[in-house]
Chain A
């Protein structure tokens, strides 16, 4: 049985003069935590945005569980938003109600539990919250969905060490084996313990490895990353 959650097929993407991908292909396995790593500007965020349907490839196609990315695949994917993408006039409770209305897989119970775990005041407006609290709210909204695929772009940036541990705990508690978590990050030491699969993107190519195989070699994922990117 094919266990591919996301399949990228011959994708090309250019931003003005910068060709990010040219006929790029990659398969991301399902039912696990996948770390997408790479240097700045290599296209990690672009990949996540294309999977979410926020950005269209110039050529090629992306499939989520055999369905070509379209507005319909948004029901399969839960993207961690950036705080500025949520209206500043919205209270956290408004954002929860909004998501609850539009996403059938959104769990208000999990949202309430995550708010309690993360110390989020549901009555607070987005523009009244600290930067860290806004990020927590975004993460809460993302994880409260029971989506097939989660997309987290640098989820650890801006959090204190204590809360980073809370995030890892939440991921382990709320993400189930049938779900796929794709995390793009530079902060390897914070997350390497939960990676099942590591994908390192270099210029228009990708190297994949099982995290356990890397660990069995007695090296850290950061060391492996350094080996690959040179």
Chain B
């Protein structure tokens, strides 16, 4: 094997190690959505209904695959240069970067596939209970249009955890901005009467992710 082939082999491995849990999550969410019956709209709080959980799970994963992983990975690659062991190998940095960019395209396509699969699953809810028709069933559109805040926030979370300490201030500021923006969007949703519970759930995810990042920051850099 030449250096390029070895680089592709190990980069696929590296991508798999990073993305497998996300894939497991979306497979699990898909399976749950198929097993559980569609609850009556009035029986349980809407925020806990499988339709919301599935939609959010697919939106998060596809958003991560489309926006976060490729962009954040590239930013970390460019910003941290030859810091890691995989950059100590005798090969042009452009080779590693090029392979990662090409694999990122594959990951983006995978993300789009996941969003479309989520959309198909959502149609089941839509056909079984017409009240769900009002819920946005176009997964890809949801992710790309209204779901952009979550990937943006996750992007800075990723930077916070994996980037160098010099970026922490920037990442924290951006995180705070993203959370405030997310709360603002939720408030607008509430005012306009659009899926307020879904908005609240997104805010909860924001807060949990932020708490996780702060905890990681403390253990990673302060010990």
A residues sitting closer than 8 Å to B (CB atoms) are 52-54, 71-72, 74-75, 79, 81, 85-87, 89, 94-95, 98, 101-103
Contacts and interface: CB of A to CB of B under 8 A. Distances in A.
B82 A54 contact: yes
Interface in B5-36: 6, 9-10, 13-14, 17-18
Contacts of B92: 71
Interface in B71-91: 82-86, 88-91
B85 A74 contact: no
A89 B10 contact: no
A85 B80 CA distance: 11
A71 B3 CA distance: 13
Interface of B: 1, 3, 6, 9-10, 13-14, 17-18, 82-86, 88-92
Nearest to B18: A89
A-B complex: 9 closest residue pairs judged by Cβ atoms: A102-B89, A74-B90, A89-B17, A101-B6, A85-B85, A75-B90, A71-B90, A85-B84, A86-B85
A74 B83 contact: no
Contacts of A87: 14, 17, 84-86
Give the most central of A52, A86, A102, A103: most B CB within 10 Å.
Answer: A102
A81 B85 contact: yes
A40 B198 CA distance: 55
B18 A85 contact: no
Given A81-B85, A89-B18, A98-B10, A72 B90 contact: yes
B155 to A, nearest CB: 20
30 contacts: A52-B88, A53-B82, A54-B82, A54-B83, A54-B88, A71-B91, A72-B90, A74-B88, A74-B90, A75-B90, A79-B88, A85-B83, A85-B84, A85-B85, A86-B85, A87-B14, A87-B17, A87-B85, A89-B17, A95-B85, A98-B10, A98-B85, A98-B86, A101-B1, A101-B6, A101-B9, A101-B10, A102-B3, A102-B89, A103-B89
A134 B18 CA distance: 21
A101 B18 CA distance: 21
Contacts of A81: 85, 88
A125 to B, nearest CB: 10
A208 B6 CA distance: 42
A191 B83 CA distance: 28
A54 B93 CA distance: 12
B80 to A, nearest CB: 10
B21 to A, nearest CB: 10
Contacts of A95: 85
Given A75-B90, A98-B86, 13 more contacts: A52-B88, A74-B88, A74-B89, A74-B90, A81-B88, A85-B84, A87-B84, A89-B17, A94-B13, A98-B10, A98-B85, A102-B6, A102-B90
